[in-house]
Structure 1
Amino acid sequence: MNTLIREARQEDIAQIQIVRNSVKENTLSDPGLVTDKDCEEFLFQRGKGWICEIEDQIVGFSIADLKENNIWALFVHSDFENHGIGRKLHDIMLDWYFEQNKDSVWLSTSPGTRAEIFYRKSGWKEVGTHGKGEIKFEMTSENWKNKEL
């Protein structure tokens, strides 16, 4: 399997939306809530994104938002879970984020999900709740820098 991680491009948005709507956890109540325009804004004006491609198919993506110091998205297509794709996308995104910005970054996810376990194992600290009962996690530059120690 030839796996490629690269920066997201404009023409990737349609496949990014397919991946976003394929997930079994943290699903959107209405897929129309996240538009192609939203993706474009977060990818090219507010921050940056990366995709994982296997044989020309996008199977995962991550997007960091510098404007709100937030991880806007990290999703892997359900058919490609448990292959380390989320970890690679997570790490390249945080390396880039902390090269741009020393402010801590936050994200939120539903409790009781595999995403919650993933973020806890990745060194994210729970700092409260966000939105409709989601867990709010934070990562500091210091914690990220020292993650391998």
Structure 2
Amino acid sequence: MNIIIREAQPEDIPQIQIVRNSVKENTLSDPGLVTDKDCEEFLFERGKGWVAETEDQIVGFSIIDLKENNIWALFVHPDFENKGIGRKLHNVMLNWYFEDNRENIWLGTSPDTTAETFYRMSGWKETGTHGKGEIKFEITYHIWKNKE
């Protein structure tokens, strides 16, 4: 399976939504909560995003919010989990972010999930809670650069 990681484009949003609504953890209580317009705003006005693609199918994506120094999204379709796709998206995103930025970056994720384990193993530090019972994680420039 050949996975290509590339910058997200406006025409990717429908497939990004399919991936987002297929996940088994960190699900949306209402898929209408994240609209195509929201995706467009975070991808092209507030930040930047990447997609993982194989055979013209988007199987994962990540989006960074530069206004809030936040990982807005990092999701992989359940059929493509445990293949290193999330790791690739994560690394491309953080390498890009820390190229020109020294501010800590944060994210929130549900406790007792694969995502929680993934972020802990990736050097993220728990700093409290966020939203509705999510764990808030942060990573610094120095932790990221020393991890590589």
Shared fold per TM-score greater than 0.5: yes
Q: In the aligned structure 2, how far is the partner of 1:115 from the partner of 1:3?
A: 21
Q: In the aligned structure 1, how far is the partner of 2:48 from the partner of 2:104?
A: 16
Letter in 1 for 2:69: N
SS, match of residue 24 in structure 1: coil
> Which residue is equivalent to 2:6?
6
Map 1:20-99; keep pairs closer than 5 Å.
20-99=20-99
TM-score with structure 2 setting the length: 0.99
1:101 is displaced (CA, Å) by: 1.5
> Which residue is equivalent to 1:108?
108
1:117 is displaced (CA, Å) by: 0.1
Q: Which structure 1 segments of 5+ residues have no match?
A: none
SS, match of residue 23 in structure 2: coil
Q: Which structure 2 segments of 5+ residues have no match?
A: none
Letter in 2 for 1:117: T
Letter in 2 for 1:57: Q
Letter in 1 for 2:26: N
SS, match of residue 83 in structure 1: coil
Q: In the aligned structure 1, how far is the partner of 2:47 from the partner of 2:25?
A: 24
Further displaced range: 36-45 or 96-105: 96-105
Letter in 2 for 1:126: E
1:3 is displaced (CA, Å) by: 1.2
Q: In the aligned structure 1, how far is the partner of 2:139 from the partner of 2:36?
A: 28
Letter in 2 for 1:25: E
Give a deviation string over 1:100-136, Cα, whole Å, max 9, x none. Answer: 3110000000000000000000000000000111000
Instruction: Report the number of matched residues.
Output: 148
SS, match of residue 14 in structure 1: helix
Judged with a 3 Å threshold, the aligned counterparts in structure 2 of structure 1 residues 100 and 47 are, in CA distance, closer, same or farther, namely farther
Q: In the aligned structure 2, how far is the partner of 1:11 from the partner of 1:46?
A: 18
SS, match of residue 19 in structure 2: helix
Identity %: 80
TM-score with structure 1 setting the length: 0.98
Task: Note the aligned Cα RMSD (angstroms).
Answer: 0.6
Q: In the aligned structure 1, how far is the partner of 2:100 from the partner of 2:28?
A: 29
